[in-house]
Structure 1
Amino acid sequence: MKIQNQLGYIKGITFAPFHKRGSLSTQTARDSFDYMIEHTAADFVILAPVGLQEHAHSEEICYTSSATFSDEELINMIRYAKSKSIRVALKPTVNCKNGVWRAYISFFEKDVPCEPKWENWFASYTEFQTYYAKIAEAEQCDLFIAGCEMVMTEHRSEEWRNVIAAIRNYYHGPVSYNTDKYQEENVTWWDCVDMISSSGYYPIDQWEQELDRIERVVQKFKKPFFFAEAGCMSRKGSSMVPNNWANQGALRLEEQPDWYRAMFEACAKRSWVNGFAMWEWAPVLPSRSTAARDTSYEICNKPVQEVIKDYYGRDKRK
């Protein structure tokens, strides 16, 4: 299945997602970035400035506090990555301050007086996205991803089409949206983006059946596809529920590379999978002893790092 793809193959990693102001401005962050490129063979990075709302039913999104990268440090990191010939995507992402997962952001379908409303939230969300679309345009970013895993908003097709159209008023490169695992066929407005993307947190033994399902979506919309997130923790049991960051399993470093190998093997058979952006890489390098005790999604200095480097280094697709 040949589908026109503006970006070519994506060998990506998400760098410093949701880190606070100042996290990108240090030499430590640049050293971590350099180490990431050298030790993973990645050629693409996603930067994800965060917007915060109080809870899942708040109308206002804040992206100007100390919780969010400053414009200056974000721009400088984009330029630093490009100076290293690394392609850059911006993915402005909303989180809730109270820890509720962004997928649960929602409102009454019918407006009720004195209750928060979809209209107001989408106005704030559009402002958030277009703010960073202007930066993406000015810095010639290679891709703009209009948010992540907003599951309970995605049925609002008209509003989402308006968000994408507003982004295109300011950013003239390719636009995507990162839906959540299992949601690929539930988004009805893929026709208005340039690239379909989703979070590939699928059980280690279910990749083939999930790729069969996603392939039907790709065929329907005839759009290129990549996994804008993919990852697994280094915890016992995580390979069966890689999306469950609350899993309390004990440290098991081999769980992570085993899962990545299964993903790579399954996806390599599908020519329509145009790459990945692994989750995640921190702006501070851990020591090897610290990494050896880390149970999270982090990649650096863990066995999975070599698995990624081997795959990215061998894959010659453009």
Structure 2
Amino acid sequence: MFTKYLFSSVGLIVLSFLVWFFIPAENLIVAAEKWKGVCWVGSRQPLTGGEVQALLSTGANALSQTPFGWQGAKDAPEISWDMSNERRWWGETPAGIEATYDSTASKGIMNMMKPHLWVRGSWVGEIEMKNEEDWKTWFENYQAFILDYAKLAEKINMPMLCVGTELEKTSQRDKEWRAIIAEVRKVYSGKITYAANFTEFDKVKFWDALDYIGVQAYFPLAKDHNPDLEELKESWESHLPKIEKVVRKYKKPVMFTEIGYCNTVDAAVEPWVWPNERKEIEFSEEVQALCYEAFFQTAWQKSWMAGVFFWKWYPERHEREPDFTPQGKQAEEVMRAYFLGD
């Protein structure tokens, strides 16, 4: 009797192993709903109303709001932010965040609070302290920063919060991040994620403590300028298994907390490169639109894909070029076709 029970138990374990590792990841994790989002830029002045309608016309049903904290250097443990500073752009103040949430949520648009750090002379992924004492101070400061915005998100009933963005050299400190997440859970009742850089997401160990796997999806898609659609799609197919490996391990749906492409011929080579570094590069709405098309034909089709947020969307008229925004370009038409078609 015992032997029979033992073998049946072993058989179930083996069967479970085979099911988990050989059934495609897209058949194991099914996102309840796909958020069709943009990264909303906080405006200088209060919204007038037409800005929300323009976004709704694309089929978007989600946006992220990005208030900032500031850090003087990548190895400086001090972080500054001021929730009461009304001299900032209106859209980044607590009053502006709440008003934007109210005016968009009333139209059925889900909001995610996504605070960022701005580091003088560096990218946030380079934040790294020189010693353990500074690490302790940095995490204390960062926790206070993110808790202030978690409390604001709870106060205004914002349904989603991102606890950090591209903090690649900090996220390997698993214990400290789990402590921050636990403190956030004490004051915030909505869904939470972390926005891991595309070079970082598979090394993060605290996905089990979150509701979504968040990826800043600036994966390189081409080796040279003016790629065709097939090359872009093949590149996505080479990146997706890495994401699915993490999906299998943590059994969580994925959100692309940011993805975007400049309207330049080199947009797919290094999508993360800032527009002011592309001033000598030829413009191309076509390449930008192809990058959008490749995403929608590949990653967007996965059932583990819970949502996407395109970087970025201006509520006010914006003339700077080149830029990441799809507004008024062929990429907006691609986005609208898929957002309205799903």
TM-score with structure 1 setting the length: 0.88
1:37 paired residue among 56, 60, 63: 56
Q: In structure 2, do the counterparts of structure 1 residues 4 and 303 end up closer, same or farther at CA, with 3 Å as the change threshold?
A: closer
* Matches for 1:4-23 after TM superposition, within 5 Å: 5=31, 8-16=33-41, 19=42, 23=44
> Quick one: which amino acid aligns to residue 261 of structure 1?
E
Number of the residue aligned with 2:29:
3
1:285 equivalent to 2:312? Answer no
* Matches for 1:292-303 after TM superposition, within 5 Å: 294-303=321-330
Number of the residue aligned with 2:139:
122
Contact 2:159 2:191 in 1 (8 A): yes
> Quick one: which amino acid aligns to residue 81 of structure 2?
Y
> Quick one: which amino acid aligns to residue 306 of structure 2?
N
Question: How far is the alpha carbon of 1:4 from its aligned partner?
Answer: 6.4
TM-score with structure 2 setting the length: 0.82
Distance 2:174 2:161 in 1: 19
Distance 1:217 1:141 in 2: 27
Distance 2:137 2:296 in 1: 41
Contact 1:50 1:67 in 2 (8 A): no
Number of the residue aligned with 2:299:
267
TM-align CA RMSD: 1.7
Distance 1:268 1:103 in 2: 26
Question: How far is the alpha carbon of 1:67 from its aligned partner?
Answer: 4.3
1:25 paired residue among 43, 46, 54: 46
What runs of 5+ residues in structure 2 fail to find an aligned partner? 1-26, 222-231
Distance 1:67 1:212 in 2: 42
| 1:82-128 residue CA offsets vs partner (Å, 9 max, x unmatched) | 111111110111111x23111111112544xxxxx011111111111
User: SS state of the match for residue 214, structure 1?
Assistant: helix
| 1:243-294 residue CA offsets vs partner (Å, 9 max, x unmatched) | 12234422111111011101111114421112200000113124xxx4xx73
Question: How far is the alpha carbon of 1:43 from its aligned partner?
Answer: 0.2
Distance 1:208 1:123 in 2: 40
1:85 equivalent to 2:108? Answer yes
Contact 1:252 1:295 in 2 (8 A): no
Distance 2:341 2:52 in 1: 21
1:62 paired residue among 80, 98, 101: 80
Distance 2:54 2:45 in 1: 15
Contact 1:47 1:90 in 2 (8 A): yes
Distance 1:24 1:195 in 2: 33
> Quick one: which amino acid aligns to residue 243 of structure 1?
W
Number of the residue aligned with 2:341:
314
User: SS state of the match for residue 182, structure 1?
Assistant: coil
Number of the residue aligned with 1:257:
289
User: SS state of the match for residue 38, structure 2?
Assistant: strand
1:103 paired residue among 109, 116, 125: 125
Distance 2:286 2:121 in 1: 29
> Quick one: which amino acid aligns to residue 50 of structure 1?
F
* Matches for 1:159-308 after TM superposition, within 5 Å: 159-204=176-221, 205=232, 206-245=235-274, 246-248=277-279, 249-286=281-318, 290=319, 294-308=321-335
Contact 1:92 1:147 in 2 (8 A): yes
Distance 1:283 1:50 in 2: 18
As a proportion of its length, which structure holds more helix?
Answer: 2
Contact 1:93 1:147 in 2 (8 A): yes
Distance 1:196 1:226 in 2: 6
Number of the residue aligned with 1:114:
none
| 1:216-250 residue CA offsets vs partner (Å, 9 max, x unmatched) | 00110001111000010001111121112234422
Distance 1:99 1:218 in 2: 34
